[in-house]
Amino acid sequence: MASPNPLKKALKKEGLRYTQQRQSIWDEMCATDEHRDAEEIYLSLRNEGMNVSRATVYRTIDVLVKNNLVRKLELGDGRARYEHKMDSGHHDHLICVQCGKIEEFMDETIEERQDQIVDDLGFKLIRHIHQLFVICNDCQ
């Protein structure tokens, strides 16, 4: 059977070693569907008794992002958030400017228009950021 562990696969592809820390960080990131920052992930691991450093958290996240296991969200407040890409298709985000809650959305029409815009200019689309800053129901 093929390796059921996407982390191991990614590390092998990159020629990197499989370590306790990398597994723990990946596990921790998959543990919830929240959008946490590096510090929150670091603190969760410490709370669970893992002896891991901030540097390793950042280093591992970089590997995960590069290998498409994790998405980095830049909300413009100077702290990147991360979400694992295990069980969700592509989507973008709605962020409540009041309570900070993050929801997801996906619109085929917008995706198509994006491709069209880039195509028309003869550019090549690498990635996109689309964030709707809102006031959510609870905050109105």
Partner DNA sequence: CTGCTATTGATAATGAGTCTCAGAAGTTAA
Partner DNA sequence: TTAACTTCTGAGACTCATTATCAATAGCAG
Residues of this chain that bind a copy of itself (CB under 8 A): 72, 74, 76, 78, 94, 96-97, 103, 105, 107, 109-110, 113-114, 117-118, 121-137, 140
8 Å CB contact between 82 and 61: yes
Q: Which does 140 bind (CB under 5 to 8 A by kind): a copy of itself, DNA, none?
A: a copy of itself
Helix pair 20-30, 54-66: axis angle to 10 deg: 70
The least distance separating DNA from the CB of residue 18, rounded to whole angstroms, comes to: 4
- Rounded Cα distance between 92 and 73, Å, is 10
Q: Which does 37 bind (CB under 5 to 8 A by kind): a copy of itself, DNA, none?
A: DNA
Question: Which residues 6+ apart lie within 8 Å of 102 measured at CB?
Answer: 35, 73, 81, 93, 94, 95, 96
Site for DNA contains 48 (CB under 7 A) = no
Q: Which does 52 bind (CB under 5 to 8 A by kind): a copy of itself, DNA, none?
A: DNA
Answer positive or negative: Cα dihedral of 100, 105, 109, 113.
Answer: positive
Residues 81-110 that bind DNA (CB under 7 A): none
The least distance separating a copy of itself from the CB of residue 27, rounded to whole angstroms, comes to: 26
